Amino acid sequence: MQGLMMNTPLLISAIAEHGSRFHGEREIVSVTGDNPRHCYTFRQAINRSRQLANALDNLGLDHGDRVATLAWNDYRHLEIYYAVSGAGYVCHTVNPRLFPDQLIYIINHAEDRWIFVDAMFVPLLEKISEHIKDVEGFVVLTDAAHMPETSLPNVICYETLIADESAEYAWPDLDENSASALCYTSGTTGDPKGVLYSHRSTILHAYAGNAPDALGLSSNDVVLPVVPLFHVNAWGIPYSTIMAGSKIVFPGPKMGDGEALCELIESEGVTLALGVPTVWLALLQYCSKAGKTLGSLQRTVIGGAAVPRSMIQEFRDVHNVEVRQGWGMTEMSPLGTINAQKAGLESLSDDDKLDLATKAGRGMFGCELRIVDDDGNSLPWDGVAYGALHVRGPWVCSDYFKLDGSAESHTEDGWFETGDVATIDANGFMAITDRTKDVIKSGGEWISSIELENTVMGHEGVAEAAVIGVAHPKWTERPLLVVVRAAGTNATRDELLAYYEGKVAGWWIPNDVQFVDELPHTATGKIKKIELRKQFADYAFPD
């Protein structure tokens, strides 16, 4: 027997209309490339999203077509999120920190038809424009007065594009499973892979994010997302804030600037801030130097990489701010676990509470977890046994865009293999202990160790090379190149590092080189990265 409830589709446009109607006066504050402090309301934002939706329809796009963004966190980027997805197109957020070859690959693979770009990234697109021929035009995110000179073809100014459009728009009645957004991850081996979110997955993820033991957003919150809108939908913040009615403070290009972030927190009364550990290190260092404390801030959600115990302690003891660690992945929309306090554990000592807070957290309702051994057997949740971490749920990807299962990312019984290795304790707190995937995470962004190894193998002085991530106080991890020299050669550290220049992005180049006589191998001849990581566990980068 079927239930007798309405089968109303879960659509992103419904969040826009809800936010505008119930929280129309709530503010959105942005730092942008052309304005140090822009401020308007939810109602104005959604009106402009409707104007943009009309403009997109006039561009002759078909439902499902991809529209890309290359932009910082600000109000125009938010308008695009709602207009593109709400109107039935797919909002493809592109990471401007990628190397030109990766940008070309991603834009072509996605078959983007238009690109909305911040003025400061226009030169980046000029460099690659002859290789992205399917793109029909570019919209620069500024007003007519700030339009840059450019050699890009078919360029429109954003404010001009929407100026004469109506703020009335009938959002289409889409299938809730239709695609809404696309984000590529380089956190796996091989080419970047596209994760294609749906309206349904996005709404369920936003509901779950707003639960009290997750991000816990309410209409009383003032939220500073220092997680980029170009990376996994800024952890769902564009949706959960508008759904809850939380004021939003967008830092624009000031993401890594401790002083600017502190000033935003103080002047806008931020209660919740979200970001990767590297960002908070900059903020804490600034506060400590300037003798400031973060008065309004109540909690911060830190994820994307392991959160150092000292950071959690400094937030708690100096600023009276609760740190909630989060773990997730692009493939998971991204939230999987959040480390919020659990009833029954109040009597733990302060030290034990800190230890617990260094774990990745408890699974959210809607995201199932399991850890398995090499034969796929489930391991006990005792906080000791560790194994490959698998996840399953309505906001976890079922495949990658246009790969038709070839990435072999899922088990036969339908779980997604995260590439992380973890323990789970009896209270359900998961802790990441290692990674099976061959990538390094620096400042929250991926570096491919395989690409670094392949590149340096082109140097005649290298017989064999491996690149591993080693702990770094600022970036969490940085690449270390470990090399076996070719017989009769004597390549130096500086020579090998210089060899990378122009071949990979500058921030990918390893911080140091160690020369060894041999590398550890598996029986099948692969380099044993786990053993190599153990070998260099005590290694510290030179200053």
* Smaller CB separation from ligand AMP, 28 or 335: 335
> Of 331, 445, 451, 477, which residue is the catalytic one?
331
- 302, 291, 305, 303: which is closest to 262 by C-alpha? 291
* Smaller CB separation from ligand AMP, 53 or 234: 234
Alpha helix (H) residue ranges in 293-418? 309-319, 350-357
Q: Which residues are near ligand AMP by CB under 6 A?
A: 185, 187, 232, 303-306, 325, 327, 329-330, 334, 360, 418-420, 432, 435, 441, 446
Is 247 known to be catalytic? no
Is 395 known to be catalytic? no
Three-state secondary structure readout of 397-454? CCCCCCCCCCCCCECCCCCEEEEEEEEECCCCEEEEEEECCCEEEECCEEEEHHHHHH
Contact 106, 184 (CB under 8 A): yes
* Smaller CB separation from ligand AMP, 85 or 325: 325
Cβ of residue 406: shortest distance to ligand AMP, in angstroms? 19
* Residue nearest ligand AMP (C-beta atom): 330
Cβ of residue 304: shortest distance to ligand AMP, in angstroms? 5
Question: Could you say which DSSP state residue 243 is in?
Answer: H
Cβ of residue 264: shortest distance to ligand AMP, in angstroms? 24
Is 415 known to be catalytic? no
* Smaller CB separation from ligand AMP, 392 or 485: 392
What are the DSSP calls for 99-146, one per residue? -HHHHHHHHHHHT-SEEEE-GGGHHHHHHHGGG-TT--EEEESS-GGG
Cβ of residue 361: shortest distance to ligand AMP, in angstroms? 8
* Smaller CB separation from ligand AMP, 32 or 185: 185
> Of 69, 93, 185, 358, which residue is the catalytic one?
185
Cβ of residue 333: shortest distance to ligand AMP, in angstroms? 10
Is 331 known to be catalytic? yes
Chain-centroid distance of CA 128 in Å reads 24
Rounded Cα distance between 440 and 515, Å, is: 20
Cβ of residue 439: shortest distance to ligand AMP, in angstroms? 8
For residue 171, what are its two tokens? 């959002």
* Smaller CB separation from ligand AMP, 246 or 476: 476
Rounded Cα distance between 68 and 141, Å, is: 12
> Of 193, 247, 254, 441, which residue is the catalytic one?
441
Chain-centroid distance of CA 441 in Å reads 12
Alpha helix (H) residue ranges in 220-294? 232-235, 237-244, 258-268, 277-290
- 239, 236, 278, 240: which is closest to 256 by C-alpha? 278
Q: Bridge partners of 67?
A: 91, 114
Catalytic machinery residues? 185, 331, 441, 446
